[in-house]
Structure 1
């Protein structure tokens, strides 16, 4: 999960400053879903897992309830910790994305363990795949897609591997153990993104 923070985004080619996210609650699993989504997900074989998560994560549950109950002025007070002169009339409240919290029984965490990463699940025949958990950004999107290819198309993956390595030279390799490869990729990435190292102050 994420705590409120400042973020710069370009929306419709306009530079925008965002602050959030603040936790909310909805029984819908999608922004356009049904109010019965949550109730419909409760089954005899998962009700104990869901209850266990609530008990084990009482402090998190309390925090989320506090977030849901925040007034607009309280949200502005949190923003003023970053921007002391922020005015309510300069900011709009916008409903952002929606995510469903993944809860699993695990050997390490026991019954009702919250999952904070992302997880790819797919049908046994690879006909459909879904991404559960936090919405992935640029830092995880490529890894997620590679996992989908491996799980859903194992019969083709070996023949695709050479092309993948061409596109991702570090695929299957540890950059920690290959400093020369890391430097090569770092230089190439900086060039493609038109980044340049700033000179050290007083150098």
Structure 2
């Protein structure tokens, strides 16, 4: 799935609406709450150096790695509960047709003892702008930047008197994770290639290059019992009045965008969501909205078939699981649980 192309088509559709405006090459420089609970957002035009103030009744901060700093800029009390820790990722990439044409799958391995589940390397085929490639990774990297092209001061400038202790607690409570990240940063080119050869023994160095992916900011949240906890995934943070909300976290947006936005609507616009008009509109967009599909096989199959038709995909009806008793496996020793991260 080419999510970049999907985004372009969505923007093209929105631009046909009179109440939509897209401003590129712009950066939010300030957020100020007004006496009437509206917001003044100062936006700088990076092309001509000018700035403008926009007044809004509601502000949504969906700025990826920049979201935490903008949330802190708003000054709402809820922002004090959060900190962020940036983690990057690298992949080995092959565009050699001899390699790419032999692999059309996604293959996962198993996490090493002491490594987080999300660290499991995988070798999989991707189609990028119509061109097939094979990726292997990820390998964790560290930078103090919150964005790939951000500032080296991002981590330091987001650290405050209210979130520094939760960050320290998370570091101490997840020392195995810290060791794993350090070991990843210390990997040499030869180390990464040897990891690839565990999956593809015939791999040749000349067929692969190292590619730097983006940055993800892991959520650290203040906790009454533990001091601070590392949160995997995403979290919607809003003020009590429902005038501003931010999406924090490191989960891939493509796979979680729809439920995240539904959660945002319910959290910030609860009264409107419960109205008959909004319910009808939401169910027209998401037919299964408000229904629990777990355990309802018929409803699940209907939704899968409907989704496949909308996306133009071939629908294969799921087959019933084999009821033959499976052999009992020998119990494995319980390993110490390691905090997870998203790479």
TM-score, normalised by the number of residues in structure 2: 0.53
Q: Which residue of 2 aligns with 1:153?
A: 269
CA 1:187–1:121 in 2, change beyond 3 Å: closer, same or farther?
same
Matched, 1:194 2:310: no
CA shift, 1:197, in A, is: 5.4
Counterpart CA distance in 1 for 2:126 and 2:236 is 27
Q: Secondary structure at the match of 2:165?
A: helix
Matched, 1:174 2:292: yes
CA 1:133–1:140 in 2, change beyond 3 Å: closer, same or farther?
same
More helix by share: 1
Pairing partner for 1:134 from 219, 227, 250:
250
Counterpart CA distance in 2 for 1:54 and 1:22 is 20
Counterpart CA distance in 1 for 2:318 and 2:268 is 44
Unmatched tracts of structure 1, length 5 or more: none
Matched, 1:113 2:233: no
Q: Secondary structure at the match of 2:229?
A: strand
Of the structure 1 ranges 43-52 and 66-75, higher mean CA displacement relative to structure 2 is found in 43-52
Residue by residue over 1:139-174, the C-alpha shift from the partner in whole angstroms, topping out at 9 and shown as x without a partner, is 322101212222343454233221211222221111
Higher gyration radius (CA) = 2
Counterpart CA distance in 2 for 1:17 and 1:197 is 29
Q: Which runs of 4+ in 1 moved over 4 A?
A: 123-128
Counterpart CA distance in 2 for 1:101 and 1:30 is 12
The answer to which structure, 1 or 2, has the higher relative contact order (CA under 8 A, 6+ apart) is 2
CA 1:198–1:96 in 2, change beyond 3 Å: closer, same or farther?
same
Q: Secondary structure at the match of 2:211?
A: coil
Pairing partner for 2:214 from 88, 91, 97:
97
Pairing partner for 1:62 from 174, 179, 188:
179
Q: Which residue of 2 aligns with 1:12?
A: 129
Say whether the 8 Å CA contact 2:237–2:248 is kept in structure 1: yes
Unmatched tracts of structure 2, length 5 or more: 1-115, 320-343
TM-score, normalised by the number of residues in structure 1: 0.86
Q: Which residue of 1 aligns with 2:202?
A: 85
Residue by residue over 1:88-117, the C-alpha shift from the partner in whole angstroms, topping out at 9 and shown as x without a partner, is 21111111011112111235x621211112
Pairing partner for 1:43 from 160, 165, 180:
160
Of the structure 1 ranges 173-182 and 87-96, higher mean CA displacement relative to structure 2 is found in 173-182
Counterpart CA distance in 2 for 1:148 and 1:136 is 17
CA 1:139–1:36 in 2, change beyond 3 Å: closer, same or farther?
closer
More strand by share: 2
Backbone CA RMSD of aligned residues: 2.4
Counterpart CA distance in 2 for 1:198 and 1:104 is 40
Matched, 1:22 2:142: no
